[in-house]
């Protein structure tokens, strides 16, 4: 039988009533003739509660025990979902990560999937099981310890299972009814897209759109797994949600697919750094080792033999970045006159595969922002993306103006 993967996020399984609602959706797919693998998250709020308990118990916790505790939320949901399906006379059983087994690296709380052997679950399908309910977010290390994949890891679990079992599709059920051209809370004219290319979704996810975890989109693109994002609170329909697929599966698309934003950005500038070969490595290696997620980078010539280096990072990593650079200066690895942090900026990005073959997108974007009196602080581009940093107070105005200018409320 063909395999379908269905993933239900925390809000979709937040209560027993919602688990029953999700189970009914699973039953509809079983009735269509699918063997179904259901990936579940912990009930809404449960993971945060478990993390809080760990921190309260042991501020300097053992990462192995942290994973053992925080992964337990998914185990509860998996068991409850399997019981609910059994009450509906659907042959189902729950699987924890180690039982599959979902094999991962040893990096606790941020493990990466190495392999998902299919023998155990396929054997149970052959014996009459119709639904395998798998606890998302977790696996087992080579040392035999429970590992977790990082926040949002259940999306990655679902895509990985779809790839391993050559599933017809991977349906991600959440509290939104698809992927929008921008955040509907910021722009009321935002439009739900029927389809979006993997590359566009990957850029949007990495730029702040929180519909899908970035790693899950990377996996889907690599293994050509068709993803469908849809709401677990709307009536079932074959045309519901947004299909994330290969570019060639989209007949025609807008030049710009969407506008993304990231509110909590900081712009940091090293003033008057020695301009010499290797200076960039001397700056960004300590930042990398400190776990600072650097995004936009701009270098400007300041004076003879000196340069200014500007980069962006999340606001909650500013202090870590400052310490890493100050330590590097103390050790003599780099020398700079000042380190200026601007924590009042936001990143605005336009994304679209059509930008590969159409010119003028950047010019139009800059003109629109200029006409609204919005000053651009930093610019970076890629083949299908243009990102700028602007004052945070202008974030919503910038998103709305760009959405209107590129007429994203209209389909291609």
State the helix-helix crossing angle for 214-223 and 153-164, rounded to 10 degrees: 10
* DSSP H stretches of helix in 127-246: 153-164, 198-206, 214-223
Tens place of pLDDT per residue across the chain (412 aa): 899 999 999 999 999 999 999 999 999 999 999 999 999 999 999 999 999 999 999 888 999 999 999 999 999 999 999 999 999 999 999 999 999 999 999 999 999 999 999 999 999 999 999 999 999 999 999 999 999 998 889 999 999 999 999 999 999 998 888 889 998 889 999 999 999 999 999 888 877 666 788 889 999 999 999 999 998 888 877 778 999 988 888 776 788 999 999 998 999 999 999 888 899 999 999 999 998 999 899 988 767 778 899 999 999 999 999 999 999 999 989 999 999 999 999 999 999 988 888 889 999 999 999 999 999 999 999 889 999 999 999 999 999 999 999 999 987 6
**What radius of gyration do the chain's Cα atoms show?**
23
List the CATH number of the domain containing 309.
3.30.2130.10
The answer to the question of residue 184 being in a domain is: no
Q: Is 180 annotated as a binding residue?
A: yes
Q: Is 350 annotated as a binding residue?
A: no
- Residue that is last in its domain, among 175, 205, 235: 175
List the CATH number of the domain containing 152.
3.40.1160.10
Q: Is 47 annotated as a binding residue?
A: yes
Domain assignment of residue 379, given as a range: 259-405
The per-residue pLDDT for 84 is 98
Report the C-alpha gap between 220 and 239 in whole angstroms: 20
Total count of domains within the chain? 2
Q: Is 235 annotated as a binding residue?
A: no
The answer to the question of residue 28 being in a domain is: yes
* Co-location of 171 and 56 in the same domain: yes
The answer to the question of residue 358 being in a domain is: yes
Q: Is 210 annotated as a binding residue?
A: yes
The answer to the question of residue 338 being in a domain is: yes
* Co-location of 17 and 164 in the same domain: yes
The answer to the question of residue 200 being in a domain is: no
The answer to the question of residue 30 being in a domain is: yes
Q: Is 175 annotated as a binding residue?
A: yes
* DSSP H stretches of helix in 44-187: 46-57, 63-70, 72-87, 119-126, 153-164
The per-residue pLDDT for 209 is 64
Nearest 5°: the CA angle 200, 201, 204 is 85
The per-residue pLDDT for 412 is 65
The per-residue pLDDT for 108 is 93
Q: Is 185 annotated as a binding residue?
A: yes
Q: Is 174 annotated as a binding residue?
A: yes
* Co-location of 165 and 263 in the same domain: no
Q: Is 278 annotated as a binding residue?
A: no
Q: Is 8 annotated as a binding residue?
A: yes
Q: Is 364 annotated as a binding residue?
A: no
Closest CA to 200 of 180, 177, 174, 176: 180
What burial class does residue 186 get, using C-beta atoms within 10 Å of its C-beta: 0-12 exposed, 13-18 middle, 19+ buried? Answer: middle
302: how many CB neighbours lie within 10 A of its CB?
15
- Residue that is last in its domain, among 142, 175, 208: 175
């Amino acid at each position: 039988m063909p395999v379908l993967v269905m993933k239900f996020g925390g809000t979709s399984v937040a209560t027993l009533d919602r688990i029953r609602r999700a189970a009914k959706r699973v039953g509809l797919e079983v009735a269509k003739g699918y063997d179904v693998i259901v990936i579940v998250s912990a009930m809404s709020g449960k993971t945060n509660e478990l993390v809080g308990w760990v921190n309260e118990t042991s501020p300097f916790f053992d990462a192995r025990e942290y994973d053992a505790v925080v992964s337990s939320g998914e185990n509860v949901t998996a068991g409850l979902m399997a019981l609910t399906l059994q009450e509906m006379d659907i042959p189902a059983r729950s699987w924890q990560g180690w039982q599959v087994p979902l094999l991962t690296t040893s990096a606790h709380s941020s493990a990466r999937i190495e392999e998902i052997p299919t023998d155990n679950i396929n054997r149970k399908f052959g014996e009459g099981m119709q639904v395998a309910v798998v606890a998302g977010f977790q696996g087992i290390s080579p040392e035999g310890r429970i590992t977790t994949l990082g926040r949002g890891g259940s999306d990655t679990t679902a895509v990985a299972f779809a790839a391993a079992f050559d599933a017809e599709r991977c349906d991600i059920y959440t509290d939104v009814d698809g992927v929008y051209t921008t955040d509907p809370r910021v722009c009321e004219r935002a439009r739900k897209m029927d389809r979006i290319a993997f590359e566009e979704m990957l850029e949007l996810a990495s730029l702040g759109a929180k519909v899908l975890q970035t790693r899950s989109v990377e996996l889907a693109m690599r293994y050509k797994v068709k993803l469908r994002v849809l709401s677990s609170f709307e009536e079932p329909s074959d045309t519901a949600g947004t299909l994330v697929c290969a570019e060639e599966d989209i007949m025609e698309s807008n030049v710009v697919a969407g506008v993304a934003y990231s509110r909590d950005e900081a712009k940091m500038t090293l003033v008057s750094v020695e301009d010499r070969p290797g200076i960039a490595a001397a700056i960004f290696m300590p930042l990398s080792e400190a776990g600072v997620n650097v995004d936009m980078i701009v270098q400007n010539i300041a004076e003879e033999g000196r340069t200014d280096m500007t980069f962006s990072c999340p606001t909650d990593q500013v202090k870590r970045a400052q310490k890493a650079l100050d330590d590097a200066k103390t050790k003599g690895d780099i020398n700079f006159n000042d380190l200026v942090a601007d924590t009042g900026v936001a990143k605005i990005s336009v994304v679209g595969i059509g930008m590969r073959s159409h010119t003028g997108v950047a010019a139009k974007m800059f003109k629109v922002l200029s006409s609204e009196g919005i000053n651009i602080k930093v610019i970076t581009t890629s083949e299908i993306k243009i990102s700028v940093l602007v004052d945070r107070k202008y974030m919503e105005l910038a998103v709305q103006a760009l959405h209107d200018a590129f007429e994203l409320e209209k389909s291609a």
